[in-house]
Chain A
Amino acid sequence: MIIEVEDLVVEYKGVQVVDHVSFSVEEGEIFGMIGPNGAGKTTTIECIEGIRENYSGSIRVLGLNPKVDRKKLYNLIGVQLQETSYQDKIKVWEICKMFSSFYANPLPYESLLNDFGLYDKVNSYVSKLSGGQRQKLAIILALIANPKIIFLDELSTGLDPQARRSMWELIKGLQKDGKTIYMTTHFMDEAEYLCNRIAIMDKGKVVAVDTVENLIKRFGLEETVVFKADELNMDEIERIAGVTSLERRGPEVCVKGREINFVNNILNYLGNNQIRYRDLKVIQPSLEDVFLKITAEKSEGM
């Protein structure tokens, strides 16, 4: 366990923004935290990073307590905050050099800039960089310490799809280099693509922690088969094993079900009865469905 959070509580003006949260992160994994706005993701990450100190509960990062071993810890972790700006009129190499001087064993920033394709911007003002370049710089600054753990808080917010993709590859690369990554995000596709394990947070509580696959399985979500057919006996389809709901809109039929052989059953039925169908697609439940289900259940209960 590289990060252990136990019974973390953060109170803000009488409201528990983080409500008895416990989880742990293993070495070498990409751990993602997703949740709606105001769920407490950033507060949690800031407690672990040691930026926020007004919490109760116990946090161990690499066996260290962020409140006590601040200096030691910051040589071992790299941090990207959700929102930071840099000094006015500071140049890229200057901020890199400044950050290098803070650490005991810094990586050479020139090679980091090279790896991230920012080397030609070394003499530019930070304020003149594009959003994507600035986020890359934020990662570089997090990496200068040569950290074991990297914290990324909503890294890809505000980036265009292309920059987002290239950011994903960078993060995968970091994992290959043996770093542990703790990230928060709003984007389900990002979490699904990158994260080994995901924690879903809602209203200050961690609702579920697991792999994407297990989350989908656990919440018993349905697969959907959509196809177009002109002549169809709806009653017969409803009797196919595993079908839970059926809907017809004009020529389009939408069948939902949750058994293992459900899709097969449908295809067999269509084949055996020689029904002519077209535009058939199978929609797998995604993390987004899980997320919406969990967070919707919660708000219905209010």
Chain B
Amino acid sequence: MKMLYNITYIEFKLFLRTFVNVFFSLVFPSMLLLIFGGIYGNEPSDMFQGHGTVDVSVPAYIAMIIAVTGIMSLPLSVSGYRERKILKRLKATPINPFYILLSQILVNFIMTVLGMVILFLVGKIVFELDFMGEFFDC
């Protein structure tokens, strides 16, 4: 467990030190929301069946965050590790290879959730986002 904790902790730091990752998962979606929300406002519109621009944009941007971490950040870093023989070096240690993958998944999952929360808060505070779902509705 100590292995998993340490490698996840360090991968977390590395994620935060990489500009592209931080920008596209945490900053960019909120930035887009501020720009387009600023232009169109969040007034109910017939085009969106009575919902505002921000109301329909937030779920779309959330999908974008998931895509950024899931199909950009995670695969790029893992394949980069392989390409630069970092995985080979780690193979020569007692660490379970599954932990390396798991640490990447954990970091990217946490950052995805964090990006979603920031986007949601920006929408709620700035544009009075109308949240229509249930938080824990399965």
Contacts and interface: CB of A to CB of B under 8 A. Distances in A.
Interface of A: 49-51, 70-71, 74-75, 79, 81, 83-90, 94-95, 97-99, 101-104, 145
A104 B93 CA distance: 11
Given A71-B94, A101-B7, A103-B93, A81 B14 contact: no
Contacts, number: 62
Q: Is the interface of B mostly helix, strand, loop or mixed?
A: helix
Lowest 5 CB-CB distances: which A-B pairs, in order?
A101-B6, A79-B92, A89-B17, A74-B94, A102-B93
A88 B13 contact: no
Contacts of B7: 98, 101
Given A51-B88, A74-B94, A103-B93, 6 more contacts: A81-B92, A86-B89, A87-B14, A89-B17, A89-B18, A94-B13
B131 interface: no
A98 B9 CA distance: 9
Contacts of B18: 88-89
Contacts of B93: 74, 99, 102-103, 145
B35 interface: no
A98 B17 contact: no
A154 to B, nearest CB: 14
25 contacts: A49-B92, A74-B92, A74-B94, A75-B94, A79-B92, A81-B85, A81-B88, A81-B89, A81-B92, A84-B86, A85-B85, A87-B10, A87-B81, A87-B86, A88-B17, A90-B14, A94-B10, A98-B7, A99-B93, A101-B3, A101-B5, A101-B7, A102-B93, A102-B94, A102-B95
Nearest to B15: A89
Interface in B32-87: 81, 84-86
Contacts of A51: 88, 91-92
Interface residues of B, number: 21
A88 B6 CA distance: 17
Nearest to B99: A102
Contacts of A94: 10, 13
A280 B95 CA distance: 60
B10 A84 contact: no
Contacts of A95: 10
B10 to A, nearest CB: 5
A191 B19 CA distance: 45
A97 B92 CA distance: 16
A90 to B, nearest CB: 6
Contacts of A98: 6-7, 10
Given A71-B94, A101-B2, A102-B3, A86 B86 contact: yes
Given A83-B85, A97-B6, A101-B3, A88 B14 contact: yes
A81 B90 CA distance: 11
A129 B18 CA distance: 19
B80 to A, nearest CB: 8
B78 to A, nearest CB: 12
A147 B122 CA distance: 53
Interface string B88-127: 1101111100000000000000000000000000000000
Contacts of B94: 70-71, 74-75, 102-104
B15 to A, nearest CB: 10
A97 B3 contact: no
